[in-house]
Amino acid sequence: MLFSVTAVAVLAATLFGSTYTQSQIVGSTLAASSNDSMTQKIHDMGGLKLVMPQAFAAVDCDNIEEGRNVVSFDLYARSADLPILGGKTYQAMTFSGQVPGPTLRVTQGDVVMMTLTIPEDEPTPHGNDMHASQMHSGPFGKVMPGESRTYCYVAQVPGTFKYHCSGVDIAAMDQHVLSGMYGMTIVDPLKGYKPLVVDSTAVVDGEVVKDRNTYSADALEFQLQYAQLYLNDEGGYDQGKMFKHETTYTVVNGMSFGYVPNANHNKLIKGDANKNIFVVQPWNSDDLKQYQSQLLFVEAGQHVRVFIENQANEPVYWHVVGEIIDRVTQGNVVHAKGTETWMIGGSQGAIMDIVFDEPGVYAAVNHDYAAIFTGAATIFVAGDPFGLNEQLGTNAQSYSELLGNPSDAVPPTGKNTIEHPKLNLHGLYTDERADELKSELGL
């Protein structure tokens, strides 16, 4: 342990216990040290506008402003052994039996009513810190086994936001988060997303001129959450490795190389289930059930929106091999258009808009070579690059119509969502959670 117990206690008290008292102390110290000339300067500037604590308060769950839509978000904590690359398991900690936890999707201005329940048989307390909120962090503190806690807040700012376990009043928070206790909130803008404008060129009368394609705001949507696992040989969390940034595996939606071809794809494309069509296919058997790898299918020329959250320690240099990211949005601000790679720091999200122009196979990576080779390669297939329609006598615009997209890569529907034609069960789910989702998704 690098932190002393006292240091953790002081930090925990600052975060969860006595923030208000401490800011009062800081406030009075400032007042005592101010002098007349400073007061005059402030007066000359037109005075100070103070943001009062009221603006950062949680909403009283029993007294919610009429007219606001209330969205309940119920999570439970569950520690469970879950599979990792190489046929072993690791000691995962989860929200509701899955890594990442369930995605919450709301519209800007909605009230989120978050309830975290810790079952009696959980070996440790947990908490939930939701980055989509703006409030005093007291309610994020530990919830004991056998207890539950509810808090409410208004989702004021659109974008993607992390939520994560806060450990035991932040003690062991690193272990809980990096073992899997993280998830994402998507806050849709109140008026929906903007249409996507993509610059291009055309030839008119034998001359190259500027052109542009405009796509409706409606898009086929995916979610990708990046993290690292730091493990010892027994599959336990290794804090020493975390401090040294020694990644054991890079995971996307909880799994390394979870979105690569499997035996069924081999058979369709090569006519032989045992002839691998990709360099690594570690989740390659029907026996693996929800853990068998899958691919992400889109139409060529379709507006695709990818919600991304970086849940852990390493930067994500998000890049799609063979494509240019048409638009990058954070919050509700467009930060880039036509960029090759976009960096997403720890606990940061982004919304990527992309049109895969040509039918083909595209790998979305964290363009840190250590991350690619430890698991951060995710395969998109656009259109019908393998001529399967001819082979099968079909006319599918996307293989999703024939094979389906993986459930864990697809967020709940929101503003401007194009529904996926077909979904399959896929993800780092406990068997219990997989059964629940199967019936929820009607599979």
- Closest residue by Cα to residue 248 from 227, 230, 235, 226: 230
| Smallest gap from residue 3 Cβ to Cu ion (A) | 17
Query: Least separation, in Å, of the C-beta of 408 and Cu ion?
Result: 20
Separation between Cα atoms, residue 149 and residue 78, nearest integer Å: 16
Minimal distance in Å, beta carbon 176 to Cu ion? 3
Question: C-beta of 121: minimal distance to Cu ion in Å?
Answer: 15
User: Is 61 known to sit in a ligand binding site?
Assistant: no
Nearest distance, CB of residue 436 and Cu ion, angstroms? 20
- Binding-site ranges for Cu ion (CB under 5 A): 126, 165, 176, 181
Is 126 annotated in a binding site? The answer is: yes
Residues 323/299, Cβ–Cβ less than 8 Å: no
Identity of the residue, 176 or 433, whose beta carbon is nearer to Cu ion in the bound complex: 176
In the complex with Cu ion, the residue whose CB is nearer, 99 or 165, is: 165
Q: Which is nearer to Cu ion, 181 or 251 (CB)?
A: 181
289: nearest Cα among 427, 101, 94: 427
> How many angstroms separate the Cα of 186 from the Cα of each of 174, 313, 413, 441?
23, 21, 10, 20
Nearer to Cu ion, 174 or 435 (CB): 174
Q: Which is nearer to Cu ion, 176 or 367 (CB)?
A: 176
Cβ nearer to Cu ion, comparing 127 with 414: 127
When the beta carbons of 119 and 412 are compared against Cu ion, the nearer one is: 119
Confirm or deny that 265 is annotated as ligand binding. no
For residue 165, say whether it is annotated as part of any ligand binding site. Answer: yes
Of 93 and 224, the one with the shorter C-beta distance to Cu ion is 93
Please give the helix or strand (H or E) that residue 431 lies within, else none: helix 431-440
Q: Residue 225 contacts by C-beta under 8 Å, 6 or more apart in sequence?
A: 100, 182, 183, 184, 252, 253, 254, 308, 309, 310, 311
Cα–Cα distance for residue pair 310/347, rounded to 1 Å: 5
At its nearest, how many Å lie between Cu ion and the CB of residue 97?
A: 14
The token duo for 40 is 């005059």
- Give the span between the Cα atoms of 428 and 13, in whole angstroms: 34
Evaluate the CA torsion angle 152, 153, 154, 158 in order and state its sign.
negative
CB closer to Cu ion, 302 vs 311: 311
Shortest Å distance, C-beta 430 to Cu ion: 16
Give yes or no for a contact between 71 and 104, defined as CB atoms under 8 angstroms apart.
yes
Report yes or no: 281 and 245 within 8 Å, Cβ to Cβ.
no
Shortest CB 6 distance to Cu ion, Å = 22
User: What one-character-per-residue DSSP string does 330-377 give?
Assistant: ETTEEEEEEESEEEE-TTEEEEEEEE--SSEEEEEEESSHHHHHTT-E
Q: Are 97 and 432 a contacting pair, CB within 8 Å?
A: yes
Minimal distance in Å, beta carbon 211 to Cu ion? 52
Give the span between the Cα atoms of 406 and 410, in whole angstroms: 7
DSSP H/E element including 219: strand 219-229
C-alpha closest to that of 262 among 275, 246, 244, 248:
275
Enter the tokens of residue 338: 């036509």
Shortest reach from residue 119's CB to Cu ion, in Å: 12
On whether 164 is known to bind a ligand per the annotation, the reply is yes
The Cα 38–Cα 43 span in angstroms is 9
Closest to Cu ion by CB, 92 vs 350, is 92
Q: Specify binding-site residues.
A: 126, 131, 164-165, 176, 181, 367
Q: Specify binding-site residues for Cu cation.
A: 126, 131, 164-165, 176, 181, 367
